[in-house]
Amino acid sequence: MNGEQDFPDPTSLCQPQGVHGPSQAIDTSSFYWEDQCWVNPPLENYLLYELHTGTFTPEGTFQSLESKLDYLKALGVNAIEIMPIAQFSDSRNWGYDGVYTYAAQSSYGGASALQHLINTCHYKGIAVVLDVVYNHFGPEGNYLGEFGPYLTDKYCTPWGKAVNFDDALCDGVRRYVIENALMWFRDFHVDALRLDAVHAIKDFSPVHILQELRADVDRLMAVTGRRHYLLVESDLNDPRFINPLSHEGYGMDSQWMDEFHHALRVAIGEAKIGYYADFNGIAHLAKAYQDGYVYDGQYSEVRQKVFGRKAGNNPGEQFIVFSQNHDQVGNRKLGERSSTLYSYEALKLLAGAVLISPYIPLLFMGEEWAETNPFFYFVSHSEPELVESVQQGRMAEFAAFHSGGEVPDPQSDETYEQAKLQWNLLEEEPHRVLLRYYQTLIALRQQLPALYHLDRRKLAVFCHQEQETLIVHRWYENQQVLCLMNFSKQSQTIYIPTVGEANTPWQKLLDSADPEWQLPDESQPGSAPESVSGSEAVLCQPESIIIYAQHHEQSRFHLPAPISPKLYLS
């Protein structure tokens, strides 16, 4: 590069010998696309499934991921969200340490395998969301400083110097990021990008980098006729990020809603420590259903300040909710999934709480069958000082947050292997029953207009803190849905509110305590009545959800065929 030393190309599309090796020129335009008839679904119809390429299958490649697409389709998933695939050191990494933003990870199969995966997804009716990281660049193999002022010490971030979006000579850096986003949309046919931690993007330019990105993506869509979405992770509770450009917003299409997760987990029994200390459970979960943000102008004990703004005018599809994701599992000390933290009944309640929400639901790989393997944080750096720094950092992070057990070594191959999904569990109980339960819930959501129309104005919530019960009422035209949730560990009597049509009985569509969702060796609790009227009492079993509806017949609800595990185990 400088006549004395060679460096990889910052815009390299291929690093076959890793982050320190030479860049290989490839032609991404030579791929033969067969998705001309593909139409990206409306965002409100998305059902997201977050996965990590390396641990989703035993082989950990884009090609092997393709073999599971029919399974995801049978489950009811219509959009996969792939954790970052920008080239990182070696082969074990969450992806947030990528240093070649334009290069698809070589150990996953590289650019052509990614294109083939996306082409196949579209053929099977599945949208592809790619997680990208524009708030920092990874440490190992990062030679960007040799080419220009990509970083600035004007701001301090958790990863050191900030990406230079508004300091001297920032114009080229801004184009570097925007052209990368456009490349994924244009050359790889990605349907949406999930932008990691945009609250860590420091930019006080007159036009924020996200606004500039939104405008450029809009121009691309006008040329190609394809629809693309920009999704963000933000913990600022600021609707400016998701407000349109015409309203002085940044124009992002939707954002992850961590506060829904936090309130839900406290409601189910999570200890109120760390960031959970700000949440009281049922009441805050009710507020999340109604208002999106839990904190929208109240004092936060954890942050020690008044926090957030109201998002009253933002539609339901602008919020993405979940009971698990890579962060909330992997950033626990022992990487525990919900399946090892809560009861089997609680798992069904958590799933129901997410899937009846007026927001876009996201599942984390394996949660639908109660995967028991942990999902640890893992890396595979080659620089000893960096390895030690990561190891010490993980131990310091959990010094006070969680007790018990040693912090798994992020550098260990065993840590990585333990995080891989166990597809053989699909043939065992309780995993097989839970999988069918998820499949049923998803079908209900996708077939009932009162659930799949994300109109936050057509929602009411009835909260009973002492009972630890919640009723969510949703409707669309004349169809009404009532969701009764009992978060306590005792049976609770819940009275049907006087909503809907007074002379029309409520018909039961699902009860998580019904025998078909119970394990064979467990005693069967009492089932809720098949039909009830307004003001009638219903006995709700511990940690359960019951869904009633009026005028659901018009939806012609049908349950898809059960998933056959043997088809997806090879």
Cite the active site residues.
Answer: 196, 233
Instruction: At 299, list the tokens.
Output: 């004092």
Q: Is residue 431 marked as binding? A: no
Tell me if 331 is assigned to a ligand binding site.
yes
Burial of 66 (0-12, 13-18, 19+ CB in 10 A): middle
Is 143 within 8 Å of 55 (Cβ atoms)?
no
Whether the ω angle into residue 361 lies within 30 degrees of 0, i.e. cis, is: no
Neighbours of 393 (CB within 10 A): 12
Q: DSSP H helical segments within 408-481, as ranges?
A: 413-418, 431-447, 449-452
Q: Which two tokens stand for residue 418?
A: 């333990």
Amino acid at 138: G
* Pairing assessment for the beta strands 298-300 and 192-195 based on DSSP bridges: unpaired
Q: Residue 467 annotated as binding?
A: no
Structure token digits, residue 136: 């920092």
On the CB side of 135, how many CA atoms lie within 13 Å of its CA? 19
User: Rounded to whole angstroms, how far apart are CA atoms 3 and 511?
Assistant: 71
Residues 317-339 as b/e (b if ≥16 CB within 10 A, e otherwise) read: bbbbbbbbbbbbbbbbbebbbbb
326 belongs to an annotated ligand binding site:
yes
Measured CA to CA, the distance from residue 352 to residue 445 in angstroms comes to 10
Residue 196, annotated ligand binder?
Answer: yes
Is 518 annotated to bind a ligand? Reply is no
User: Does the annotation flag 329 for ligand binding?
Assistant: yes
Q: Is 552 annotated as a binding residue?
A: no
197 is in an annotated binding site: yes
Q: Residue 194, annotated ligand binder?
A: yes
Residue 328 counted as an annotated binding residue: yes
Asked whether residue 237 is marked as a ligand-binding residue, the answer is no
What Cα–Cα distance (Å) separates residue 213 from each residue in 148, 198, 236?
21, 13, 20
> Known binder of ligand: residue 260?
yes
Q: What is the identity of the amino acid at 188?
A: F
Please indicate if the annotation marks 165 as binding a ligand.
no
Annotated binding site: 194-199, 258-262, 326-331
Annotated binding site for substrate: 194-199, 258-262, 326-331
